[in-house]
Amino acid sequence: MRSLFGLTAIATVAGVPCAQAADVLFQGTLDSICILGLTTPGTLGVDAEGRLSSAAGLPGTVTVLTTGGTRLNVKAPVWTQTPAAYSSGGEVFEYSYLGLSGLGVANVDWTSANSDVALPVLPLSILTVNARAANPSDSWVDGTYQMKVEVTCSAS
Amino acid sequence: MLRQLKALAGAALLLPMLSAEGAACTLIATGGTLGLAPNGTTYTSELGLPSLVTISTTLLDGSFTITIDPPTLVQSPVGFVPISLEQKTVSAVSTLDLNFAYTSGQIQRTFPTQLLSAAVVTLHHRLNAASFPSGTYRTKTVVTCS
């Protein structure tokens, strides 16, 4: 019986035509991906209301790329640097942002509250962020002021 | 006798496939993987792994033709809208000039058999779309040697 099996195998090979084909497969799986990058810092100026504001300077920008199923979280500004002579406390921090190239759904007007929005599938897009601080005493001392707005993108 | 037959069967299974004209060709292809480009609009094996197609022929008279069918998308997430699917080949062996730029069509070339005993061709796939929803993507092509 074993001998018969061997002969069968030989006959099968001899009967195969010359042409040979091979299937080639490429595969990739995308999970919910969100990439923030290429940030450019903004600049601050004093606006007509006496606030330190990027609206009186330049907004900051960050690029956003996501495969969808992600959330964009933005927190209110905080000081990262103030002049030594400046006494902080009681400021009203606000931010706003504007999404370009499909991020329009994520537009947020000036607010002090954290925002959290779901993002659709986005090719490379730009988020333009503004920040400002109102001083209760309405006075700023000379020196360098720096504030940051934390932007986070994560899976839902 | 039984041992001889078994040995003969084993050897036969390793033989290349011979035609009446004497030319024979064998293909072995590895699968590739896709990677997403930073701009989010291209999913390509150039950012993953290409397929390596090993072509081996016998040193006999005649010629052989390598044909790579147009690539097809065999799996994608619901809602995905492809713009194009392309493939290209790169051959590092001078006697097997199978270098084709990205095309969505068929790749085909005929070679004299005696010029080649074995060669590896790198095959890339590139899927273009406005965006790529989460999920699994599979592309396929069929390589034929005849």
- pLDDT 10s digits, A99-115: 865 555 568 899 999 99
Model pLDDT, residue A38: 72
Among A20, A29, A67, the residue with its CB nearest the CB of B27 is: A20
SS3 A89: coil
C-alpha dist (Å) from residue B23 to A10, A67, B19: 19, 49, 6
pLDDT digits (tens, 9 = 90+) for A79-91: 999 999 998 888 9
Task: Taking residues B32-39, report their average pLDDT.
Answer: 85
Model pLDDT, residue A101: 57
d(CA B123, CA B75): 19
Most confidently modeled range among A19-33, A42-56, A102-116 = A42-56
pLDDT digits (tens, 9 = 90+) for B53-93: 998 877 556 788 899 999 999 999 988 999 999 999 999 87
B143 or A108: whose pLDDT is higher? B143
Q: Is A31 on the interface with B (CB under 8 A)?
A: yes
| A71 and A108 Cβ atoms separated by less than 8 Å | no
Nearest residue of B to residue A125, measured between CA atoms? B39
pLDDT digits (tens, 9 = 90+) for B101-140: 999 999 999 887 665 577 899 999 999 998 787 889 999 9
Model pLDDT, residue B130: 81
Q: Tell me the pLDDT band of A55, cut-offs 50, 70 and 90.
A: very high
Q: At what angle do helices B2-14 and A2-14 cross, to 10 degrees?
A: 30
Between chain A and chain B, the number of residue pairs with CB atoms below 8 A apart is: 148
Of A94-103, A138-147, B27-36, the poorest mean pLDDT is in: A94-103
**Res B8 pLDDT > 50:** no
**Res B11 pLDDT > 60:** no
SS3 B9: helix
B16 or A101: whose pLDDT is higher? A101
Q: Are strands B72-75 and B63-68 parallel, antiparallel or unpaired?
A: unpaired
Model pLDDT, residue B102: 97
Task: Provide the residue type at A130 as one letter.
Answer: N
Mutation site, A24, A33, A63, A101, interface B, largest B CB count within 10 A:
A24
Q: Is B121 on the interface with A (CB under 8 A)?
A: no
**Res B1 pLDDT > 60:** no
Contacts of B118 (CB under 8 A, 6+ apart): B54, B55, B56, B57
Q: Do A20 and B53 touch (CB under 8 A)?
A: no
Q: What pTM, to 2 d.p., does this model score?
A: 0.58
Q: Are strands A60-66 and A34-40 parallel, antiparallel or unpaired?
A: antiparallel
Residues of B in contact with A153 (CB under 8 A): none
Among A10, A27, A123, the residue with its CB nearest the CB of B12 is: A10
- Average pLDDT, rounded, for chain B: 81
> What is the radius of gyration, based on Cα positions, of chain A?
29
Of A6-15, A39-48, A126-135, the poorest mean pLDDT is in: A6-15
Query: To the nearest whole percent, how much of chain B has pLDDT over 70?
Result: 77
Nearest residue of B to residue A101, measured between CA atoms? B130
Q: List, as ranges, residues 81-100 from B with C-beta within 8 Å of A.
A: none
Model pLDDT, residue A58: 96
d(CA B67, CA B52): 15
d(CA A61, CA A66): 16
Model pLDDT, residue A95: 97
The C-alpha of A66 sits at a distance from chain B's nearest C-alpha, in angstroms, of 8
SS3 A15: coil
Model pLDDT, residue A102: 56
Query: What ipTM, to 2 d.p.?
Result: 0.80
Residues of A in contact with B8 (CB under 8 A): 6, 10
Query: To the nearest whole percent, how much of chain B has pLDDT over 90?
Result: 49
**Res A128 pLDDT > 80:** yes
**Res A122 pLDDT > 80:** no
